[in-house]
Structure 1
């Protein structure tokens, strides 16, 4: 039951991050300039220990908005948005750090992303062998 409540809270954060920037959007009158020239980019990122997002309770969650400017509760929003723009929002294409050596201790960490990237729905999940492997592979995007 506790897992259900935590996932409900995570989904609530997702809805707030995705729908929040859209609530002020209105249809422009014919001939009027659009209110924004940017497609929405609002994400909820979570991390938790375990091997599968379906059974893991998120331990940390942040919001990240990248358009028109970087903002949210992410501690390094500007850098995370820059890294995501550099790979076109493809989380699998994030560049791993080449100078990090991690132990092979198996303590799985799951990361998830829900939201919108440049107007397109995003849903992402990946399991790393440990927190060091996660940090080395994802840069500042999941550094929270």
Structure 2
């Protein structure tokens, strides 16, 4: 049985293979062909707020997605401003989690942890910062974790 596709030209064989792929693996028929590259490095993050000092054992309070390339989007309430902050600071997120200079908070220990996990400009990014209490989180200088 070496001549199953003998009567088919190269174009017909490719079309048959594409149809077979679409039937065998739903969702892959519309995938971009191999070798296609975007003009933008991927930049997409999942941002989270967790109660507790450890994001792995705490309770997730809120989480949003933030996509910055090719255009700002996601479920973040202000993706344009958040992406602008990220572009200005690169992968250094500590300045975005810093409390405002004029903020006044109690000294209670009721920790809140923020996380950013995903890809920034094509590189893996995993960030965690723990505030002493919710007041510290509310008084950050940026909008990245303001959701």
> TM-score, normalized by length of structure 2?
0.71
SS in 1 for 2:75: coil
Q: Residues 26-48 of structure 1: CA distance to partner in whole angstroms, max 9, x if unpaired?
A: 423xxxxx4x3110100001101
* CA gap 1:137/1:24 in 2 versus in 1, 3 angstroms: farther
Contact 2:53 2:113 in 1 (8 A): yes
Q: What does residue 71 of structure 2 align with?
A: 69
CA RMSD, Structure 1 to Structure 2 (Å): 1.9
Within-5 A mapping of 1:101-112: 101-112=104-115
Shift of 1:117: 0.2
SS in 2 for 1:58: strand
Q: What does residue 88 of structure 1 align with?
A: 90
Cα distance in 1 between the residues matched to 2:62 and 2:32 = 28
The 4+ residue runs of structure 1 with deviation greater than 3 A are 23-26
Shift of 1:135: 3.1
**Which has the larger share of strand?**
2
* CA gap 1:125/1:138 in 2 versus in 1, 3 angstroms: farther
**Which has the larger share of helix?**
1
* CA gap 1:143/1:108 in 2 versus in 1, 3 angstroms: same
1:99 aligned onto 2:81: no
Which segment is superposed worse, 61-70 or 95-104?
A: 95-104
Contact 2:67 2:73 in 1 (8 A): yes
1:27 aligned onto 2:29: no
Within-5 A mapping of 1:11-26: 26=34
Q: What does residue 127 of structure 2 align with?
A: 124
The gaps in structure 1 that reach 5 residues or longer are 1-22, 29-33
* CA gap 1:133/1:72 in 2 versus in 1, 3 angstroms: same
Cα distance in 1 between the residues matched to 2:145 and 2:33 = 29
